[in-house]
């Protein structure tokens, strides 16, 4: 019985933050409940471009060690290490331009849920 209660607490610690996030998306009319997006500020001008570049590296279209997408070209390894090496970013492999807002929101939701779980643990 104690194990079952502990398992329920672990599940709740992940689902409660996720529920709050989904409720906020619904209240704000954000993707997937409306036309607004959580992609603002740095996410709009940096992270999304990095995710698209990461997808092209993972699919073999570009090289991890040199990219012309940077100003004068350069190494993408430090950029990948800082922004992109979260296993959750593998979801961007399935991204197309029109799916980016949905997948970006899914990654944020997963990270928020995992933060709650980690904090409880």
Q: Residue 36: beta bridge partners?
A: 30
Rounded distance between C-alpha atoms, residue 83 and residue 116, angstroms: 21
- For 75-112, give one letter per residue: b (16+ CB within 10 A) or e: ebeebbeeebeeeebebbeebeeeebbebbbebbbbeb
- What integer pLDDT is reported at residue 35 of this predicted model? 82
Coil vs helix vs strand at 61: coil
* pTM confidence score: 0.79
Decide: residue 55, CB within 10 A, 0-12 exposed, 13-18 middle, 19+ buried: buried
Decide: residue 10, CB within 10 A, 0-12 exposed, 13-18 middle, 19+ buried: middle
Residues 6-40 pLDDT 10s: 999 999 999 999 999 999 999 998 888 888 878 87
The residue assigned the tokens 């992270």 is 47
Q: Rounded to 5 degrees, what angle do the CA atoms 27, 41, 119 make? A: 65
Q: What is the mean pLDDT of the chain?
A: 85
Task: Say whether pLDDT at 75 is over 80.
Answer: no
Q: Residues 94-119: what's their mean pLDDT?
A: 89
Task: Say whether pLDDT at 72 is over 70.
Answer: no
* 69: confidence class by pLDDT, cuts 50, 70, 90: low
Task: Say whether pLDDT at 53 is over 90.
Answer: no
Higher pLDDT, 97 or 117: 117
């Amino acid at each position: 019985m104690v194990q079952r209660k502990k398992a329920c607490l672990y599940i709740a610690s992940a689902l409660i933050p996720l529920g709050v996030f989904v409720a906020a998306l619904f209240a704000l009319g954000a993707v997937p409940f409306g036309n607004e997006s959580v992609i603002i500020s740095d996410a709009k001008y940096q992270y999304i471009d990095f995710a698209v570049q990461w997808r092209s590296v993972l699919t073999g279209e570009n090289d991890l060690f040199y990219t012309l997408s940077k100003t004068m070209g350069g190494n993408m390894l430090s950029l990948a290490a800082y922004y992109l090496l979260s296993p959750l970013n593998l979801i961007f492999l399935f991204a197309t331009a029109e799916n980016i807002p949905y997948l970006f929101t899914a990654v944020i939701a997963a990270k928020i849920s995992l933060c709650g779980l980690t904090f409880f643990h």
